[in-house]
Structure 1
Amino acid sequence: MPVATRPWSADPYAHALRRRRGPLFLRRADGWLLPLDVERWCAGADAADLSALHRCEGSVLDLGCGPGRLVAALTSAGRSALGVDVSEAAVDRARRLGGPVVHRSVFDELPDEGGWGTALLMDGNIGIGGDPAALLGRVTQLVRPGGLLIVETAPQEVDERVEVQVDDGRGATGALFPWARVGPRALERHSRPAGWRATTRWTVGERRFTALRSRRAGVPR
């Protein structure tokens, strides 16, 4: 029988990060598998990543930062940045790269709430919590009025909320947890009621991104 562990917090996710390679998947209840690109997450920022980082404004909050490649790239370029992740293994690796990271959920209290210039939801992290509208609403509380949010969406037009578990393809699985997959059009539908206005879409290779601007009123800091 597969051995169940906590999502993102123990084997097989932590084990894959220690090895810096997969295989690793998100498995739906119907058996469908979404490959997770552990090798890319553990490498340096690539051209697609940099296309997003070059658009960042002010201080940058990377939500679901994983092993920290984006925070490391930002800080090495002299930018003020902070990573946030629930995985102890990911946070440990990110800190070894020299990036400032906190071991928390996006829904926990975070430093400088309401003052961040840009928030990042990369690598499909719009799926965090399984409720894109709630997540987008939370991010409005984190960035400054008029602040920026950059989201990496699913490459295809999809809008689904499911339960998944981390699976290494060899019998080890994590506990079930809620997740979402959102394409560009669905992101815009969810973003408007949450106080965001989509401003730019772009594609690098097979990866798709959307930049959104907060409509929250107030005096920017």
Structure 2
Amino acid sequence: MTEAATRSAYDSVAVLYADTFRDFLDDMPLDRALLAAFADLTRDSGPVADLGCGPGRLTGHLASLGLSVFGVDLSPGMVAQARKEHPGLRFDEGTITALDLADGSLGGILAWFSTIHTLPADLPRVFAEFHRVLAPGGHLLIAFQACEGDTPQPFDHKVTLAYRWPLDGLSGLLRQAGLIETARLHREPSERERFPAGHLLLRKP
């Protein structure tokens, strides 16, 4: 999908999306544990960016864990929802393909199901941006719909076209961008999900 199409699709469902997923994390103990570990790793490392933050639910969660965190999202509608629900936090409109951030300025990046709409051929550019803005020693936690096999698989995401990724395949792209995997989780789908979830924790040397 083009960024313009993705932006338009999420603008059209921003209010519904915020209402639907507001309490989604409550029933996800493994996801909360990963986020807590990410917070422990990045708490004293500098600012953390929640890239593709949507309505800001995870930005707010990370703030509650003691992080200096801000959100960035492609959709103005989502940013408006995030600012409404978390008025004490910073949220900016922006694209993960060209972040308005200085080199090495972040101690951590959360990309929680936010790269799934990116065309597979464009992901190396996105991951190069992640590497650019992370400080040495900074961490990336990325989550996505997972699949078996060797190649990404398109699927009919409820908002707009998206891609599932094999963990090894996505880890390989991140390694090519200069990020080193330190942990991974393959989680079976919850009652509210259609597909397994993949999580990768990586570090910039």
Superposition TM-score, scaled by structure 2 size: 0.75
Structure 1 letter corresponding to 2:23: A
Q: What letter matches 1:188 in structure 2?
A: S
Taking a change above 3 Å as real, the CA distance of residues 111 and 188 of structure 1, as seen in their structure-2 partners, is closer
Residues 1-221 of structure 1 aligned to structure 2 (within 5 Å): 6-10=4-8, 12-20=9-17, 39-40=20-21, 42-43=22-23, 45-46=25-26, 47=28, 48-56=30-38, 57-58=42-43, 59-98=47-86, 99-123=89-113, 125=115, 127-128=117-118, 130=120, 131-157=122-148, 159-160=151-152, 180-206=163-189, 207-215=197-205
Gaps of 5+ in 1: 1-5, 22-37, 169-173, 216-221
Task: Tell me by how many angstroms 1:126 deviates.
Answer: 5.1
Aligned AA (1:211): L
Q: Which of the pair has the greater relative contact order for Cα pairs under 8 Å at 6+ separation? A: 1
Deviates more, 1:101-110 or 1:78-87: 101-110
Q: Is the 8 A contact 1:49 1:70 kept in 2?
A: no
Q: Percent identity?
A: 24
Uncovered stretches (5+) of structure 2, i.e. residues with no partner: 190-196
SS of equivalent residue, structure 2 residue 201:
strand
CA contact (8 A) 1:147 1:213 kept: yes
Larger radius of gyration: 1
Q: After superposition, what is the alpha-carbon deviation per residue over 1:135-175, rounded to whole angstroms, capped at 9, x for unaligned?
A: 1111001111121111113222353386x99766xxxxx7x
Count of aligned positions: 183
Return the offset for 1:181. Answer: 3.4
Separation of aligned partners in 2, 1:155 and 1:9: 23
Amino acid at match of 1:191: L
Q: C-alpha displacement at 1:104, in angstroms?
A: 0.8
Closer, same or farther: CA 93–51 of 1 in aligned 2, 3 Å? same
